[in-house]
Amino acid sequence: MDKQTQRMARVKNGGRILIWLGLLIFFIYSYQAIIDLEGIGHPGRQKAVNRILTALSKPNLFESETGQRTAGEMWETIQIAFLATSSSAIVAIPFTFFTARASSYWGRGLNILLQPILAAVRSVHPLITVTLAIVLAGLGPTAGVLALTLFSTAVLIGKFSEYAQQHTSLSWPALLKVHFPGLAFRHFPTNIVIATVLGFMGGGGIGFSLQQQINLLNYGDAGVSILAMIIAIGSLDLLSRTVWYKIQSSRASHPAALTDY
């Protein structure tokens, strides 16, 4: 190794050390500026948290009316997330086709134009856009689907494009038939979580009911709603992980089968 190469290596190592040192300093500064340990350790607040957790740990599981209502609201939340995920995947595919492996000047120009727009959309949480959606469509699941579809489309375009760029050996038919649907399904549980939060703002589903239950201090019914969310989202998350693992395992063990569609 010549002296110039050694010098460049030292510069790179020094740069990495400075970056990590800067991140450490920023972490310490942010921790001191934001974290309030005295507030967390306040006895009154700790008692209030313990009281709420105790109440939530005793859900009204044996009230048939509560269970039926919660099941219907959870199902509506799943439907909101499914419609948003499916719609955003369909919209994301043509944008990915023109930007992920752009070989023409037109494709590269579209990619340069599209990326700042996608970054702007991803930077705005659906909790903000759902307010506009409610003005347009009124309270309910339609507003939740509209707000979540907009955000999810920007996210999936980024995921599809990044995956297509990283796996250039995969043909477009293979990506469209197997990998993009797998990526969308992998994102599905996240959209259910977001759809639940959108319900707090009037976007339909179980979130709206959960907000009312908490405001009314009806922690027994709130516990049922939270339990339904944990079971539904946790189960779908495990299922999506399993499906995605099988897709990746199949690609690794039989690469030709996924590149020659």
The whole-number pLDDT of residue 170 equals 81
Do 172 and 68 reside in the same domain of the chain? yes
Residue 261: band (very low, low, confident or very high) from pLDDT cuts 50, 70, 90: very low
Contact 91, 153 (CB under 8 A): yes
For the ranges 5-19, 61-75, 87-101, 148-162, the maximum mean pLDDT occurs at 148-162
In a domain? residue 162: yes
Residue 260: band (very low, low, confident or very high) from pLDDT cuts 50, 70, 90: very low
Domain of 138, CATH number, reads 1.10.3720.10
Determine the structural domain holding residue 25 and report its residue range: 3-35
Contact 258, 178 (CB under 8 A): yes
Distance in angstroms (rounded) separating the CA atoms of residues 91 and 84: 11
Number of domains in the chain: 2
pLDDT of residue 15 exceeding 80, the answer is: yes
In a domain? residue 41: no
Do 135 and 193 reside in the same domain of the chain? yes
Mean pLDDT, residues 241-246: 92
Contact 221, 66 (CB under 8 A): yes
- Tell me the pTM: 0.84
Mean pLDDT, residues 152-162: 92
- Cα–Cα distances in angstroms (integers) from residue 66 to residues 73, 197, 219, 221, in the given order: 11, 20, 12, 7
Do 27 and 125 reside in the same domain of the chain? no
In a domain? residue 53: no
In a domain? residue 192: yes
Do 10 and 134 reside in the same domain of the chain? no
Note the pLDDT tens digit of each residue in 98-138.
777 666 566 677 777 888 888 888 888 899 999 999 999 99
In a domain? residue 190: yes
Do 117 and 187 reside in the same domain of the chain? yes
pLDDT of residue 258 exceeding 60, the answer is: no
Do 215 and 123 reside in the same domain of the chain? yes
Do 157 and 69 reside in the same domain of the chain? yes
Do 236 and 152 reside in the same domain of the chain? yes
Distance in angstroms (rounded) separating the CA atoms of residues 126 and 41: 33
In a domain? residue 47: no
Do 141 and 230 reside in the same domain of the chain? yes
In a domain? residue 44: no
Note the pLDDT tens digit of each residue in 165-214.
888 888 888 888 889 999 999 999 999 999 999 999 888 889 988 998 98
In a domain? residue 193: yes
